[in-house]
Structure 1
Amino acid sequence: MKTIRSFVSSVLLTLATAACAQIPVSPVGTPQMHLPRATMQVGRQSFSVQLARTELEKETGLMYRTRMPANEGMLFLFDRPGIQCFWMRNTRLPLTAAFVADDGTIVNLEDMQPMTETNHCSARPVRYVLEMNQGWFAHHHVRAGMRIRHALFRPAAAARTPARTAHGA
């Protein structure tokens, strides 16, 4: 009984917070389809992604979907690089996760099976994770070491160079 109350309280708090912020929220158990989108490119292939930025958006991810268009995926954005691990709870689609560095370079790819809780982790700290239908990367000859192009990704030199601040005299 306590677990049900806690769950209901959590859902109500999420809905109330979203209503106050005027952010659309998908009801629990339904796919989130309202996220902002971006178009990216890797090699010669363009594709569209939904951007998962908030904790709730990242937590929900591609859960509850029964299909996803061939050239579409979801990009998860984190505040800072870290070892990112993903699983497939309540996710019905077979997916591949591309773990992506600040400059857009794919660090590693991991195939993930539907409805499992096996962790699939980045080989090193990354800020982004891109999920696409399983087989998409292989079909387009995309592999680790290739770079995804989009303004979101910073060039390698900029990512390594510390910010400089000007000091007045």
Structure 2
Amino acid sequence: MMLPVDKAPLVATTASGKQSFTIEIADDGNERERGLMFRTDMPDDRGMLFVFDTSRPVGFWMKNTPMPLDMVFIRANGTVASIQQAEPFSEAVVSTPAPIRFVLELKAGTAAKRGLKEGDLLSHPVIDAIAAKN
């Protein structure tokens, strides 16, 4: 499944400056369930933003995902709660105990290459609208 690329970039404010990503948005149950399954590659500046209805602990697995990923767990205020690595085809759950509202999946190693760290602020119209309410 490939979702439409959103017109607005997701921008991460990091210690090394602003980093921009082109994203697909998975904001319903079917899209979140499918995610990046079966994809073998993705551009370095591309990601998928998972949007949840409420802030809560969430978990992901990689059962049908052949591509290693960085999973960026994001609070409702747009700050990065944690960044974890996910291994291809693994059924191990990747999660964070913190309540989160979004998860950004990137090609493995992208978060480190772009200087993305816990506490950094992410901005996109979807994130900003929810952050403004919190």
TM-score, structure 1 as length reference: 0.71
User: Residues 98-146 of structure 1, C-alpha deviation per residue, up to 9 Å, x if partnerless?
Assistant: 1101111000011010000111112300110110011001001110100
CA RMSD of aligned residues (A): 1.5
Q: 1:34 and 2:8 equivalent?
A: no
2:36 aligned partner: 62
Q: Which protein has the bigger strand share?
A: 2
Number of residue equivalences: 128
Runs (5+) with no aligned partner, structure 2:
none
- Which gives a bigger RCO, structure 1 or 2 (Cα 8 Å, sep 6+)? 2
Q: 1:122 and 2:91 equivalent?
A: no
2:26 aligned partner: 52
- Which of 135, 146, 150 does residue 109 from structure 2 map onto? 135
Distance in 2 of aligned mates of 1:152 and 1:53? 10
Distance in 2 of aligned mates of 1:51 and 1:157? 19
Please say if residues 5 and 22 of structure 2, whose CA atoms lie closer than 8 Å, have aligned partners that are also in contact: no
Runs (5+) with no aligned partner, structure 1:
1-31, 160-169
Larger Rg, first or second structure (1 or 2): 1
Q: 1:65 to 1:157 in 2, by over 3 A?
A: closer
Q: What's the offset of the Cα at 1:58?
A: 0.5
Distance in 1 of aligned mates of 2:131 and 2:106? 24
Please say if residues 70 and 133 of structure 1, whose CA atoms lie closer than 8 Å, have aligned partners that are also in contact: yes
1:21 aligned partner: none
Instruction: Using the aligned pairs only, state the percent identity.
Output: 34
